Amino acid sequence: QYEGIETGSGTSTYSGTVPLDTTKSGSQYQLVDGKRGGHKTYDLNQGSSGTGSLYTNSTDTWGGGRQTAGVDAHYGAAVTWDFYKNTFGRNGIRNDGKAAYSRVHYGKGYVNAFWSDSCFCMTYGDGEGDKKPLTAIDVAAHEMSHGVTAATAKLVYSGESGGLNEATSDIFGTAVEFYANNKSDVGDYLIGEKIDIFGNGKPLRYMDKPSKDGKSKDSWYSGLGGIDVHYSSGPANHFFYLLSEGSGKKTINGVNYDSPTADGSKVTGIGRDKATKIWYKALTTQFTSNTNYAKARTGTLAAAASLYGNNSAEYKAVAAAWTAISVK
């Protein structure tokens, strides 16, 4: 129990005006979320170690100046917690009811965000010229999902298992963005579309056709385990898109997609909610540290069989989506 649980609001960088769960301590409010394991959000103030200072404020209305990135991070952690709780019954990243914590304003012009299992925390840089903090909801949920993978399948962060680790974070990062469903975060199959990491308005990654980023692969091939995990994630991201939405052209929330298949086959999607449940079940009951793409196929098929039956349309769609990215 936390003394003085409060509900404030904040003006964020990317998600508009958002509700924030806070704590009152004396006459001050703090970014301490008493409803979700006591998740705290800290301002590193351009430092790169320790926790910096816990965000405090004289009112429960947050945002402006150094607070704004803290609003995104605190909100993103709350939505991600709620997504895992309400979708899968998972109680926090390690399913033990305990919160991680967030640190923003890491370093100077730092264009990345990262999860650390040793501090059990996530950290966000301010982006190029300290102007675009890496705190968008899909990025935040991507990082926290690395914590979930570390607590479950423990997919090794290199080779094909590394690509599957990265894809798991993109899959749940995307699922959380759709779950957030606020005015600014309606959901898409793009990763990092708001942080403008290339300075040209393009997203970091595309799930419908990963090769659109110029580096990621659309389908499995024998050398896939030799490339960077942020590119070998491509085929699994593509699998997830195909399983959710199917192949070909589609417009969702105003974004146009066109998802190819390696063999020209047509895949019919089963919807994002079912695809997400299948991936989570596979991650938590089938995948292990050295799961590769071939084992991900059998693992997700086993997950689909246990959720929907082994003669189900869902099971068949899983098989078809893997085949469509050359995992047979």
- For residues 293 and 242, what is the distance between their CA atoms, to the nearest angstrom? 16
| Structure token digits, residue 257 | 């997609």
Question: Measured from the CB atom, is 154 or 250 closer to ligand ASN?
Answer: 154
Residues of the shown chain interacting with ligand ASN in the complex, contacts defined by CB under 6 A: 112-114, 142-143, 146, 166
| Structure token digits, residue 111 | 């264009």
Question: Measured from the CB atom, is 92 or 162 closer to ligand ASN?
Answer: 162
Min CB(282)–ligand ASN separation in Å: 20
Span of 1-9, 176-184, 226-234, 283-291 interacting with Ca ion by CB under 5 A:
176-184
Decide: is 247 part of the binding site for Zn ion (CB under 5 A): no
Decide: is 169 part of the binding site for Zn ion (CB under 5 A): yes
Min CB(230)–ligand ASN separation in Å: 6
Decide: is 161 part of the binding site for Zn ion (CB under 5 A): no
- For residues 57 and 95, what is the distance between their CA atoms, to the nearest angstrom? 30
Span of 71-79, 165-173, 243-251, 255-263 interacting with Zn ion by CB under 5 A:
165-173
- Shortest-Cβ-distance residue relative to ligand ASN: 114
Catalytic residue among 143, 166, 245, 314: 143
Decide: is 138 part of the binding site for Ca ion (CB under 5 A): yes
The tally of CA atoms less than 13 A away on the side-chain side of residue 237 is: 34
Catalytic residue among 142, 146, 230, 238: 230
Residues 6 or more apart in contact with residue 236 via CB below 8 angstroms = 163, 164, 167, 168, 171, 293, 296, 325
Choose the one of Ca ion, ligand ASN, Zn ion, none that binds residue 190, judging by a C-beta under 5 to 8 angstroms depending on kind: Ca ion
Residues 6 or more apart in contact with residue 223 via CB below 8 angstroms = none
Q: Give the length of the chain.
A: 328
Question: How many other CB atoms are there within 10 angstroms of residue 6's CB atom?
Answer: 15
Q: Is 39 a catalytic residue?
A: no
CB burial readout 196-232, b (16+ within 10 A) else e: bbeeeebbbbbbbbbebbeebbbbbeeebbebebbbb
Span of 19-27, 41-49, 167-175, 316-324 interacting with Zn ion by CB under 5 A:
167-175
Decide: is 190 part of the binding site for Ca ion (CB under 5 A): yes
The DSSP line for 195-263 is S-TTSSS--SEESSSGGGGSSS-SS--TTGGGS-HHHHTHHHHHHHHHHHH-SEEEEETTEEEEE--TT
Q: Is 143 a catalytic residue?
A: yes
Span of 56-64, 122-130, 169-177, 244-252 interacting with Zn ion by CB under 5 A:
169-177
Provide the annotated active-site residues.
Answer: 143, 230
Q: Which residues of the chain form contacts with Ca ion (CB under 5 A)? A: 138, 177, 188, 190
